[in-house]
């Protein structure tokens, strides 16, 4: 893991809750992780585990009734004079000038729905140049030239023509490429990719992932890759954060997570991947039970009702904290608590 001494983004004990009439949903409940320059960090978990809300919390675009109630999100920006400044994003006004200057400029976002993530009322070029003009203060012509350049960079053929087309005139793969071009138009240090390939067919998925890898090599940006696809994680990521019900249950370098997972949830997730080497006609192991209803969160360790190693009287009473289990690897499970 070659990365700078200080993470570009540090999330500490982040809690984002949704205050609804029926009760409070703890979408993110104490997430802690670091993202380093040039690193690809995979955030994995089942649907509803708080991956996307984490991403939106970082950008401060969590929609009402959601709100960050606790925690820190420290962004370290490199200044032109070579120094870095630290900003706690949770302290900023979400619609304030500084937060808006960070959004799109320092942190780019691409997500799942290439179909609807562009507005159908404006050309691709209009929507890309908008971000460029906002952050880089370029003239109309310069911004347009840059937009075309970006479209070429992400491998869209005939970009000088595509720039004047509408999103519904592009195929899903091209649309996702255009989306990447838009997210990277202002050269952000961090790219948050929220399920970037989920809606694409497998061939296009591979192309988009290869594109992201190439762009990362060329530009040295950090990627926060949110996915439920462990194959994508193995392919792309340097480090992994596994989330369950808004909490980080395990994190570490990708190799260690795949070969030496410690948390029972991670182990169960890995067992449920179909493998070429597995015996044929054998049922794929699944994680027993299903994700608890958001309003009926289990007490103690959130995973204990589905856990094979549950210790009654402990797991259903107390909540475990992240413990070092190997070099650079941590898991939040009582199996590894030193006192147990």
Query: What is the binding site for other proteins (CB under 8 A)?
Result: 56, 59, 61, 95, 100-105, 108-109, 111-113, 116-123, 127, 130-131, 134-135, 166, 168-169, 179, 182-183
Helix (H) or strand (E) holding 247: strand 247-253
Please identify, using beta-carbon distances, which residue of 181 and 245 lies nearer to other proteins: 181
Q: How far is the CB of 21 from other proteins (least distance, A)?
A: 10
Please name the residue that has the structure tokens 């370290």.
76
Are 212 and 193 a contacting pair, CB within 8 Å?
yes
Please identify, using beta-carbon distances, which residue of 112 and 205 lies nearer to other proteins: 112
Neighbours of 31 (CB within 10 A): 26
Structural tokens at position 327: 């070099």
Q: How far is the CB of 275 from other proteins (least distance, A)?
A: 34
Distances (CA, A) of 258 to 45, 197, 253, 268, 310: 14, 21, 9, 11, 22
Please identify, using beta-carbon distances, which residue of 169 and 286 lies nearer to other proteins: 169
Q: How far is the CB of 76 from other proteins (least distance, A)?
A: 19
Please identify, using beta-carbon distances, which residue of 193 and 325 lies nearer to other proteins: 193
Structural tokens at position 194: 């929220």
Please identify, using beta-carbon distances, which residue of 101 and 321 lies nearer to other proteins: 101
3-class SS at 57?
helix
Helix (H) or strand (E) holding 87: strand 84-88
Please identify, using beta-carbon distances, which residue of 212 and 257 lies nearer to other proteins: 212
| ω into 258 cis (within 30 of 0) | no
Q: How far is the CB of 101 from other proteins (least distance, A)?
A: 6
Q: How far is the CB of 235 from other proteins (least distance, A)?
A: 25
Q: How far is the CB of 100 from other proteins (least distance, A)?
A: 4
CA dist 193 and 35 (Å) reads: 13
CA dist 241 and 254 (Å) reads: 9
């Amino acid at each position: 893991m070659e990365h700078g001494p200080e993470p570009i983004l540090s999330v500490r004990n982040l809690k984002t809750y949704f205050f609804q009439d029926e009760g409070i949903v703890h979408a993110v409940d104490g997430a802690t992780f670091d993202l380093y320059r040039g690193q690809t960090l995979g955030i994995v978990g089942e649907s509803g585990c708080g991956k996307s809300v984490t991403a939106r919390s970082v950008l401060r675009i969590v929609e009402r009734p959601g709100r960050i109630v606790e925690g820190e999100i420290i962004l370290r920006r490199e200044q032109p004079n070579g120094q870095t400044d630290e900003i706690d994003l949770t302290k900023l006004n979400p619609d304030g000038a500084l937060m808006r200057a960070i959004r799109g400029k320092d942190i780019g976002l691409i997500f799942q729905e290439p179909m609807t993530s562009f507005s159908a009322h404006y050309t691709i070029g209009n929507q890309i140049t908008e971000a460029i003009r906002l952050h880089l203060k370029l003239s109309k012509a310069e911004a347009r030239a840059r937009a075309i350049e970006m479209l070429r960079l992400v491998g869209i053929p005939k970009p000088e023509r595509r720039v004047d087309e509408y999103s519904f005139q592009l195929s899903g793969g091209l649309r996702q490429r255009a989306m990447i071009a838009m997210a990277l138009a202002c050269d952000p240090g961090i790219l948050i990719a929220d399920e970037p390939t989920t809606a694409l067919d497998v061939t296009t998925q591979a192309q988009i992932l290869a594109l992201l890898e190439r762009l990362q090599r060329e530009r040295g940006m950090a990627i926060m890759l949110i996915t439920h696809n462990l194959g994508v994680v193995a392919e792309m990521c340097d480090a992994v954060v596994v989330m369950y019900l808004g909490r980080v249950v395990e994190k570490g370098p990708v190799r260690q997570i795949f070969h030496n997972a410690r948390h029972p949830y991670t182990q169960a997730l890995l067992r449920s991947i179909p493998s070429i080497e597995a015996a044929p006609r054998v049922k794929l192991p699944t994680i027993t039970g299903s994700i608890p209803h958001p309003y009926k969160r289990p007490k103690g360790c959130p995973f204990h009702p589905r856990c094979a190693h549950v210790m009654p009287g402990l797991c259903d009473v107390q909540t475990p904290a992240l413990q070092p289990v190997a070099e650079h690897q941590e898991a939040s499970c009582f199996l590894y608590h030193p006192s147990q």
